[in-house]
Chains A and B, each alone.
Chain A
Amino acid sequence: MNIKKIMHVENLTHFYGNQIGCKGINFDLYKGEILGIVGESGSGKSTLLKCLSGEISPSAGKINISLDQGGVKDFLSLPEQEKRQLMRSMWGIVHQNPRDGLNLRISAGGNIAERLLNVSEKNYSFLRNTGKYWMEKTEMDSDRIDEFPLSFSGGMQQRLQISKILSSNPQIVFMDEPTGGLDVSVQAKILDTIKSIVRDINVTMIIVTHDLAVVRFLTDKLLVMKDGIVVETGLTDRVLDDPQHSYTQLLTSSILQV
Chain B
Amino acid sequence: MKTGFNFAYLDEATKRMIRRKILKAVCIPGYQCPFGGREMPLAYGWGTGGMQVTASIIGKQDILKVIDQGADDTTNAVSIKNFFKRVCNIMTTDRTTEASLIQTRHRIPETTLNKDQIIVYQVPQPEPLRKLEPKEKETRKLHAYKEYALMHVKLYEEISQFGSVIKTWAYPVETNNRYITDPTPIPKFDNPKMNNMEALQLFGAGREKRIYAIPPYTKVKSLDFDDHPFEIQTWDECCSICGSTKSYLDEIIINNEGKKNFICSDTDFCKSNLEKNK
Binding site for B on A (CB under 8 A): 80-81, 84-85, 88, 103, 106-107, 109-110, 113-115, 117-118, 122-125, 127-128, 145-146
Contact = CB atoms under 8 A, between A and B. Distances in A.
A216 to B, nearest CB: 37
Contacts of A125: 227
A125 B226 CA distance: 9
A90 to B, nearest CB: 14
Given A123-B227, A124-B225, A124-B227, A114 B149 contact: yes
A84 to B, nearest CB: 6
A198 B147 CA distance: 28
A104 to B, nearest CB: 13
B256 interface: no
A110 B156 contact: yes
Given A84-B145, A117-B152, A122 B225 contact: yes
B23 interface: no
Contacts of A115: 149
Given A123-B227, A146-B161, A88 B147 contact: yes
A114 B145 contact: no
B225 A110 contact: no
A210 B152 CA distance: 38
B145 A113 contact: no
Contact of B160 (A109, A118, A122): A109
Given A123-B226, A124-B228, A146-B161, A118 B147 contact: yes
B226 A118 contact: no
Interface in B125-162: 141, 144-145, 147, 149-150, 152-154, 156-157, 159-161
B226 A114 contact: no
Nearest to B152: A117
11 contacts: A81-B145, A84-B147, A107-B160, A109-B160, A110-B153, A110-B156, A114-B149, A117-B149, A122-B226, A124-B225, A127-B156
Contacts of A103: 153
Nearest to A113: B156
A123 B147 contact: no
Given A85-B145, A124-B228, 14 more contacts: A80-B145, A81-B145, A84-B147, A88-B149, A103-B153, A106-B154, A106-B157, A110-B157, A110-B160, A113-B153, A117-B152, A118-B149, A123-B226, A123-B227
A137 to B, nearest CB: 19
Contacts of B145: 80-81, 84-85
B156 A124 contact: yes
A121 to B, nearest CB: 9
A109 B156 contact: yes
A124 B154 CA distance: 12
Find the residue from B144, B147, B156, B157 having the highest chain A CB count within 10 A: B156
